[in-house]
Amino acid sequence: MDELFIIIFAMIGGTMRYGIDQLIPNSPLPIATFSINLVGCFLLALLNTTLVVSERVPARLSLGLGTGLIGAFTTFSSFTLEILNLLMGHDWLIAGLYTLGSLVFGLAGSYLGVQAGHKLKKVSE
């Protein structure tokens, strides 16, 4: 049954990712993947700080949202392929900035997600 929740939410997350990829025009900079992954960092941290630890939310729903929806929405494979393509195209500076920016801003997004989760939990108590 857990697998069904993951599959259903993964279809939604993958479709959302595809939609955002279509909305953001192609450029030499991987803006779509960068944006999607940063939003995913924030949302997964928020989810793990609020819903996952809540006894009111079924574990299957948390699993579907985290592993399914956010897992399919974000992508490490596209991130690494884009870095490789930048390096192969001799765009060393952009590749470095993309890698460093993804790490720094991803951590910042996760931190903000945790902080927002703590504030939401205080409000709901």
Please write the tens of the pLDDT for every residue from 75-86. Answer: 899 999 999 999
Number of separate domains in the chain:
1
Q: What is the distance of C-alpha 30 from the center of its chain?
A: 15
> What's the pTM value of the predicted model, to 2 decimals?
0.90
- And the tokens for 47? 């989810």
Cα 6 from Cα 2, distance rounded (Å): 6
pLDDT digits (tens, 9 = 90+) for 84-119: 999 999 999 999 999 999 999 999 999 999 999 999
Q: What is the pLDDT of residue 93?
A: 95
The answer on whether 74 is annotated among ligand-binding residues is yes
The answer on whether 71 is annotated among ligand-binding residues is yes
